[in-house]
Amino acid sequence: PVPIAVFFLLYKERMVPCFNSSSHPLLSADELAMETRPAEKDDLSAAVQRPHAAGGHDDLFSCCQSKNFRGASYAYFAVHITGALVLFMTDGIVGEYSGFVYSYAVEEPLSVVHKVAGYLPSLFWGFITLGRLISIPVSYRMKPATMVFINVVGVLITFLLLLIFSYSVVFLFVGTASLGLFLSSTFPSMLAYTEDILQYKGCATTVLVTGAGVGEMVLQLLVGSIIHDQGSYSFLVCGMIFGGLAFTFYAFLLFFHRMYPKPPSDVDDASPDKPAVMDDTGQYQR
């Protein structure tokens, strides 16, 4: 019901290109401006926002128009792609580890009791929650790029130790908790890091969120098929490979960050390199 309701609102607001509604939007441009703009703002800010309000909502696919990418360097697109690939791997690890750690634990060589193995997914998600709480004060003292680096290296080392101590039930619990901590803040830190690079509004967020969601879906299907054919031990091998790929893509992201030019103050308004200005509607956050 939620996607249906959202589509209905988009239809009423005339934001779906294929279905142009003949009815009026839920709020007219003037009413929308009065709702979103405080009355005490000065005349200058009102003059700046008036053209934006008169235009109403942008088209649903306005960020995909070619004019928005005119003059963009290849590093601009490379940052989007590599950032999305990092989240593809890390969020995919979250999905596949939480989905198959129980199956891995109850199979040989560990053969953990089913009741005890049932605590592993809860432990994993519990430490993800704990890690997100810890990352809030840490983010005030540490740069997002450093946090992402620590996360991807921590995931890689944890999977390596899980492979080395694959016969230890105790270390399986320790490694599960460690993975939860390292994976907890990867997504918000990556969003903050790419925002520092691109100064974007919303389209880059769409690319990153889509990459993370697709990775969480695809890697679960892939790992499930491999475990079915190759056995439970391949569960850790897949995690190690995905962690290595996440680190590799992050290294490419750092490389393209060095090559990405800082936008000047007088960049044209249509350029994607233009620094973002906070609008009335704010920015999308996960």
Residue 73 in domain: no
Using CA atoms, how far apart are residues 273 and 265, in angstroms rounded to an integer? Answer: 10
CATH number for the domain spanning 202: value is: 1.20.1250.20
Provide the pLDDT confidence category of residue 108 given band limits of 50, 70 and 90: confident
* pLDDT recorded at residue 6: 85
Q: Which of 98, 157, 149, 150 is nearest to 128 (CA)?
A: 98
Number of structural domains the chain divides into: 1
Residue 197 in domain: yes
Q: List pLDDT tens digits, range 180-220.
A: 999 999 999 998 888 878 766 567 788 888 999 999 999 99
Q: What are phi and psi of 264, to 5 degrees?
A: -70, 170
Using CA atoms, how far apart are residues 77 and 252, in angstroms rounded to an integer? Answer: 12
Q: What is the residue-averaged pLDDT of the chain? A: 79
Q: Which stretch of 17-21, 103-107, 116-120, 251-255 has the lowest confidence by average pLDDT?
A: 17-21
Residue 41 in domain: no
CA-based torsion, 63, 65, 69, 70: positive or negative: negative
Provide the pLDDT confidence category of residue 273 given band limits of 50, 70 and 90: very low
Sort 185 into a burial class: Cβ within 10 Å, 0-12 / 13-18 / 19+: buried
Residue 64 in domain: no
Using CA atoms, how far apart are residues 19 and 17, in angstroms rounded to an integer? Answer: 6
The CA distances from residue 178 to 166, 172, 233, in Å, are 15, 10, 19
* pLDDT recorded at residue 70: 59
* pLDDT recorded at residue 281: 44
Quick check: 162 and 172 in contact, CB under 8 A? yes
Residue 240 in domain: yes
> What is the four-CA torsion angle of 221, 225, 226, 230, rounded to 10 degrees?
160
Using CA atoms, how far apart are residues 235 and 231, in angstroms rounded to an integer? Answer: 8
Give the number of residues written for the chain. 286
Residue 45 in domain: no
Q: List pLDDT tens digits, range 132-173.
A: 999 999 999 999 999 999 999 999 999 999 999 989 999 999
User: What is the pTM (predicted TM-score) of this model?
Assistant: 0.70
Residue 49 in domain: no
Longest alpha-carbon distance in the chain:
72
Domain range for 235 is 90-259
* pLDDT recorded at residue 71: 57
240 has a pLDDT exceeding 60 = yes
Quick check: 88 and 214 in contact, CB under 8 A? yes
Lookup: tokens for 115: 């009741």
Q: What are phi and psi of 262, to 5 degrees?
A: -75, 135
Residue 192 in domain: yes
Q: List pLDDT tens digits, range 57-70.
A: 455 455 555 555 55
CA-based torsion, 38, 270, 210, 120: positive or negative: negative
